Chain A
Amino acid sequence: MTPGAHASSTERLQIEAEADVVVVRRRARELAIAQGFDAFAVAAITTAASELSRNVWCHGGGGHALLETVSDAGRVGLRLRFIDEGPGIADLELALRGGCSTGRSLGLGLSGSRRLVDAFHIETSPGEGTTIEVLKWARFPH
C-alpha cells in the first residue's frame, strides 16, 4: 500500500483476455479524467495501465486489476494494482532496467511504466505470482 493515500472507492476488473486490457485502460482513463488529471497525466496513467494489464494477460496467465481513486491532504490521485498468479519475475532487476523481453516485444513495459507514474511498487517471486501497484497524482488540483 502506498503510505499516505486514502482510498475512496475500489473497482475490480478481471483480466482474462486481450480485450480485457482495453477494458482496464479505458476505465483507468475515465477515472483519471474524472479525477481532474491533465491530458499528459491521463496519457501517462492510461499507457501504464495498458502495459501492466497486458503483462498480467501475457506473462501472468491472467489475473485482475484493482482501480482506486485516492486522496491525501487535498491531492487526488489514482492507484492501480495488477495482480496475477503467474510464474513471477525471475530477475526483477533486469526486468526493471528495461530492454529485457521474455516475449517478442520491446521489453520496456515495466521500466517504462515506472517512469510514467509517481509511485511504483512490485512484489514478485518465482512461482508466487506478481503484484504491481502504481500511483499517479493529479498534478494541477482544482
Chain B
Amino acid sequence: MLPDTTPVTPDAHTLALRLRFFRIDPGVLARLAALRPFAERTMSDIIDRFYEHLLSQPETRDYLDDPALVERLKRKQAAYFLGMFRGEIDLAYVQGRMKVGAVHAKLAVATQWYVGACTHYLQLIHEHLHRERASDEERRASFEAIERIMHFDVSLAIDAYIARHHESRLRHQEAIRELSTPVIRVHDRVLLLPLVGTIDSARAQRVMESVLVRIGEEHARVLLLDIAGVTVVDTQVADYLLKTTSAVRLLGAKTILTGISPQVARTVVELGVDLTSLYTRNTLSDGLDLALSLLDKQIRTIDQERV
C-alpha cells in the first residue's frame, strides 16, 4: 500500500479554521447574502465580459474554441457566481469549489491563468459595485466581503490542484515500481530478478509477489536474485531477501543471491544478519554457473579440434 498523504477535502473543523483565517465571519456571510440582488442584477454582464477577456487572451482562448462550450460554461459560471452570495459556506460548498479547481487542473489550466482570471473577475465586480448607490463605507465593506470569499474559493481550487498533482505523482511512482521489477527468464527454468535502487516496503511486497507468480508460471527451479544495484542492504532488505527465499523454496525452487559487494558483505555481517542459508555468489555470472549446475547443465567451450 502506498502511504496516503493526499490532501483531503476539509472536515467541519478545518473548514471552521479556514473561514476564521480568511476572516469570513457571520457578518461577512450576511453581507454577501444581502448582496444577492446586486449579484443577480449584474451577473450576466460580468460573466459576458469575463469570457470576452478569456477569449481575448491566447493562453485561455485555446480552451474555449467551441461556442457551445462557452455557452455551457457561462451557465455554470452563473451558478458559481451566485454561490458566493448564498450567505452560507458548508462542506458541500467546499466540495463544489474544490471540484471546480479539480476540473481546471484536469484540463491543465495553469494556476497562473486560473488565479489571473479570478483577479479579473474581482475587478469586474468592483466596477459594478462602484456604480451602486451606496456610501463609500458600504461599498468598501461589500467589496471586502466579496474579495474574501473569492480568495477563499481560490485557496480551495489550489488545494484541488495540489491534490491532483499529488495523485499523479503517486501514479508515476506506481508506474516506476512496476517498471523496476522485471523478472527475466535467462534460461529454461532459471529466472533473474535484478534489484536496483531503494527497496521500500511497498516495492518489496510487489517484487516478491510478482516473482512468486512468475516462478509458478514458468515452473522455474532457480531464481537468481542480483543485488549489485541495491544501494544499502540494511536489516529490512536482508529480511526481505530471507522471506523471498523461504517463499521461493516453498514453490520448490532455489534462490541464488548474487552481486554482493565486499562492502555489503562486511556490513551485513556486522549487522548480525545471517544469510548463510542462501546460496550466494559474488557475481551474476558465477551465479548463473551455479544455477545451471543445480539443473545438471553447464556452459562449456566447444572443443576446437573436433570441428
Contacts and interface: CB of A to CB of B under 8 A. Distances in A.
Whether chain B is bound by chain A comes out as yes
A46 B234 CA distance: 9
Nearest to A113: B271
Contacts of B201: 18
Interface string B1-20: 00101000000000000000
Interface residues of B, number: 25
Given A106-B239, A108-B235, A47 B271 contact: yes
B266 A43 contact: yes
Given A44-B270, A108-B271, A19 B235 contact: no
Interface string A121-132: 000000000000
B244 to A, nearest CB: 14
Nearest to A107: B235
A34 interface: no
A43 B264 contact: yes
Interface in A31-78: 39-40, 42-44, 46-47, 50-51, 54
B273 A106 contact: yes
Contact of A112 (B3, B198, B200, B270): B270
Contacts of A9: none
A107 B162 CA distance: 38
A106 B232 contact: no
Interface string A86-113: 0000000000001000000110110111
A50 B232 contact: yes
A22 B200 CA distance: 9
Main secondary structure of the interface of A (DSSP, over half): helix
A25 B272 contact: no
Contact of A116 (B198, B261, B270): B270
A54 to B, nearest CB: 6
Given A18-B201, A47-B234, A112 B263 contact: no
B198 A54 contact: no
A43 B200 contact: no
The 5 A-B residue pairs whose C-beta atoms are closest, nearest first, are A112-B271, A43-B263, A50-B234, A115-B270, A106-B235
Given A106-B238, A112-B273, 13 more contacts: A21-B200, A22-B200, A39-B262, A40-B263, A42-B263, A44-B267, A46-B231, A47-B267, A50-B236, A54-B234, A106-B239, A108-B272, A115-B271
18 contacts: A18-B200, A18-B202, A22-B200, A29-B231, A39-B263, A43-B261, A43-B263, A43-B264, A43-B267, A47-B232, A50-B234, A50-B236, A54-B236, A105-B239, A106-B273, A108-B271, A111-B272, A116-B270
